[in-house]
Amino acid sequence: MKKVHFVLLTVLLAGCSTEAALQGILGSSSRSPVFYGCKAGADGGVSFGFSVPVTVESVYFDLPLDYEFREDGETVTFYLTGAESPAGQKVTADLLVRDSQGNTLNVLVPFRTRNNRVPELVISEIRTENSGMKTDKPRTEFVELLVKSSGELGALRLYAAGNNGGKGLDAPILEFPPVSVNAGEYVVIHTRTLSGQTGCLDETGGDRNASGGYEATAARDFWIPGSAMRIHNTDVVFIVDQDDRIIDGVLLCEQEDAWKNDIVQAAKNLAKQGAWDSSGAASAVSTAKATPTRTVNRDTTKPDSDGAADWYVKESGNASPGEPNT
């Protein structure tokens, strides 16, 4: 007994935590499994990954969903059954697992159900400049999407690589809730919602006039809370599905010396996935003439060439959120 006390005291005096000291004496069996994350797969299953093989002790979902599950070594996959949840629905799982040594781990994690009805989308207009931030009628940045085929937006994510209200590529500026769209519709994402604006409601249902925010459109509007600037003149704006496949994207550049960090990484990814014809700043759409009324527009009458030739900025005002570009 004295030897054990001596070893424990020596370890503690060396600056290790009590937990580390106990693990040194008891071995790795005192360590809990590590949770690596979860992902919704194309087969409808939601897989939870761990550092070691585990078995499920208990599970709770915050929505009334039936489920079956399969334990496969370090992975546990849940198949949601019964009444179908909307594509891309946000669900929180409370999961308790146990490893072969009897160590347990409780995981509380949100995820999105699988969306297997992703529509064809193109980014059709972007406002990169703003004006009148202190007025009650501000022109704020927006991204407009044109829906080319019917489907579901749930769980799709919109990114702006230059968005460093601290985030950049670490987090999307918007993850869509479940919403059905039809071919020919426009979706407008307003990337700021100032405190003076009221009635800025996300239009997820059939009412396109539910939102009362300034510059709310006759199309489907979404509003990102807060006044931080999320779209820039030099940027890479793109939308991805649950498998991180780029659905569409556009490179924007006002100054080549701002082409760095997350912007460079995002541009390379677009080129790698065939969503843009090159990753260099020289291949980007020039935003030098962009203003709050002169937005960056795609010519949607032409086939998508995944390059700057598809885009233009007019000499005079042409902002048309939620409407065809002219």
pLDDT digits (tens, 9 = 90+) for 132-168: 766 667 788 999 999 999 999 999 999 999 886 656 7
Q: Residues 40, 244: contact at Cβ < 8 Å? A: no
On whether residue 24 sits in a domain, the answer given is no
pTM: 0.86
Residue 86 and residue 194 in one domain: no
In the chain, how many domains are there? Answer: 2
∠ CA 319-325-326 to the nearest 5 degrees?
95
Q: Write the DSSP assignment of 184-250 as a string of letters.
A: T-EEEEES-B-TT--------SS-TT---STT--SSEEEE--BS-----SSEEEEEE-TT--EEEEE
Please, are residues 169 and 270 in contact by the beta-carbon 8 Å criterion? no
The pLDDT-based confidence of 103 (bands split at 50, 70, 90) is: very high
Please check whether residue 326 lies inside any domain of the structure: no
The residue assigned the tokens 């919109």 is 158
For residues 300 and 147, the answer to whether their CB atoms sit within 8 Å is: no
Alpha carbon distance 116, 118 (integer Å): 6
Residues 63 and 160 both lie in one domain: no
**Cβ neighbours of residue 292 under 8 Å, at least 6 residues apart?**
127, 129, 130, 131, 132, 139, 319
Q: Percentage of the chain with pLDDT > 90? A: 63
Last residue of a domain, one of 60, 87, 112: 112
Let me know whether 128 and 271 are in one domain.
Answer: yes
Does 57 lie in the same domain as 78?
yes
Cβ neighbours around 179 below 10 Å, total: 19
The verdict on residue 135 lying in a domain is yes
The CB density around residue 146, as the number of other CB atoms within 10 Å, is 21
Residue-wise pLDDT tens digits, 114-123: 999 999 999 9
Say if CB 47 and CB 70 are below 8 A apart.
no
Residue 190 has pLDDT above 80, yes or no: yes
Per-residue pLDDT tens digits for 28-46? 466 889 999 999 998 889 9
Whether 155 and 222 map to the same domain: the answer is: yes
Check residues 326 and 169 and name the one with the higher pLDDT.
169
Residue 306's domain comprises 121-312
Q: What is the DSSP letter of 272?
A: H
Same domain, 80 and 159: no
Average pLDDT, the chain: 86
Q: Are residues 44 and 145 in the same domain?
A: no
Q: Give Rg (Cα) of the chain.
A: 25
